[in-house]
Amino acid sequence: MSATKKPVNTPLHLLQQLSGSLLEHLENACSQALADAEKLLAKLEKQRGKAQEKLHKSRTKLQEAATAGKAKAQAKAKAAVGELEDLLDKLKTSQSETRTYILQLKRDAQESLKLAQGVGRVKEAVTKALSTRAAKPAAPAKVAAAKPAAAKPAAAAKPAAKPV
């Protein structure tokens, strides 16, 4: 047997642990979701930059083909320009949607954390209740020790009264 006692987990202890872990997980989830969305936005911006470079090169090729009078090269360059313009439009739309999502995510995270303050207050109340409970057992032990001492003089007084 070990010499140290393990503390007994009560429903208050469980509530304290759950409220603490809920707040921690919520904060982590909000931060992670925001970081992921911002990474996605950065990736989209990078893709858009590359697509713009390709579009510029394709337009240059189109002008060169038009100047040289090469019909096949001109048709090929026009097709490439059209595809790249479509890609750029899709990337712009995705970026816009991602920015909107990030704004909504920030609002949701703020509201969630604001609502979770109630859980924080629950945790504080439980912690206070547990600390109050931990302080109380010492006081009743002193009172219990004082009562037997007070009872002994009363018991001693009664036998003295009987012989009279």
**What are the pLDDT digits (tens) for 117-148?**
999 999 999 999 989 988 876 555 555 555 55
Query: Which one, of 59, 49, 41, 37, lies nearest residue 88 by Cα?
Result: 49
Q: Which of 5, 91, 110 is nearest to 51 (CA)?
A: 91
- Cα(52)–Cα(62) distance, integer angstroms: 15
Dihedrals phi, psi of 8, to nearest 5 degrees: -80, 130
Q: Identify whether the C-beta of residue 124 lies closer than 8 Å to the C-beta of residue 23.
A: no
Question: Nearest-CA neighbor of 108 among 30, 161, 23?
Answer: 30
pLDDT value of position 134: 84
What confidence tens digit (pLDDT) does each residue in 32-90 have? Answer: 999 999 999 999 999 999 999 999 999 999 999 999 888 998 999 999 999 999 999 99
pLDDT of residue 97: 98
**Domain boundaries along the sequence of the chain:** 12-157
Closest by Cα among 21, 8, 30, 34 to 130: 8
Query: Does the reported pTM lie above 0.85?
Result: no
Which of these CATH numbers, 1.10.238, 1.10.1760, 1.10.287, 1.20.950, describes 12-157?
1.10.287
